Amino acid sequence: MSNVLLTGAAGNLGKVLRNKLAGQYDLLRLSDLGEMDPAGPGEETVQCDLGDAGAVMQLAKGMDAIIHLGGMSVENTFEVILNANIRGTYNIYEAARKNGVGRVIFASSNHAIGFHEREKRLDADAPLRPDSLYGVSKGFGEILAQYYFDKFGIETVSIRIGSSFAEPANRRMLATWLSFDDLASLVRRAIAADRVGCTVVYGASDNPEQWWDNSKAAFLGWQPRDSSAQFADDPKFRDEVNDPSDPAVRYQGGGFAAAGHFED
């Protein structure tokens, strides 16, 4: 696949992937609603509101694959989530269908299954149990991906991203941490694989504490190389005190599960 679109390119993970995917495709088209750094060799930058169906249709022209990171990345009001994450994701799939784009890598989230308790090990067939409106929007994206695969043959790898930061911020993230290198290698495998169907994969590094089972996506050939074990002896994690009945501790979604309903 020589022409790849990356939405959400001005966001934290968008910037990471832009850097790590640079020079690996004939064209990396970068899109965001916000300002982006100027295009480098083999890049194009296009500002686009994902809620604008016509603009997204133009955005996807000539693309072989779409890495869809764009949208609201945290909890917000329903109206914000509706436009950025629900309408925006629908527009991406419609643009893929009408432009003949065969594969989407969808940035889903652990918050689509965030109300499962931590001691329950989940695989790709675990029921959706979103912990937030944000999580609802990611569950919608996964269901939409299945529809577009079954009806139109558009393949998707939905990556239920755990916590992708330079390093874990709290003890929960020792289980959910996904290093930037492991994220980039997963995206590259999702693009390079001969066939992916409609697949869910959990985005977590090779951490000692494991909540998620990726055996049903093993055919992708992705092997995370990093581990949160390197951070485990940090006093800020070792000395952290948690109440086991706290929803942020009980449920896999952490603080999203514990937070109240986001209203206008």
The structural domains of the chain, ordered by start, are 3-258 (3.40.50.720)
Residue entry with tokens 């916000």: 34
- Of the candidates 90, 179, 80, the one whose C-alpha atom is nearest the C-alpha of residue 132 is 80
- What average pLDDT does the chain have? 96
Query: Would residue 134 show up in a list of annotated catalytic residues for this protein?
Result: yes
Q: Measured between alpha carbons, how far is 216 from 99 in angstroms, rounded to an integer?
A: 30
- Which is it for the CA torsion 50, 149, 224, 4, positive or negative? negative
Between CA 248 and CA 4 the distance in angstroms is 37
pLDDT at residue 177, as a whole number: 98
Whole-Å CA distances, 133 to 72, 80, 161:
11, 10, 16
Q: 151 pLDDT exceeds 80?
A: yes
Q: What is the mean pLDDT of residues 240-264?
A: 93
User: Which whole number is the average pLDDT over 143-171?
Assistant: 98
pLDDT tens digit sequence for 47-86: 999 999 999 999 999 999 999 999 999 999 999 999 999 9
262 pLDDT above the threshold of 90: no
The pLDDT of residue 1: 72
Catalytic pick among 134, 148, 202, 251: 134
The pLDDT score that the predictor gives to residue 15 is 97
- What are 145's two structure tokens? 């991906």
The distance between the two most distant Cα atoms of the chain, rounded to a whole number of Å, is: 54
Whether 68 contacts 190, CB under 8 Å: no
pLDDT tens for 82-112 read 999 999 999 999 999 999 999 999 999 999 9
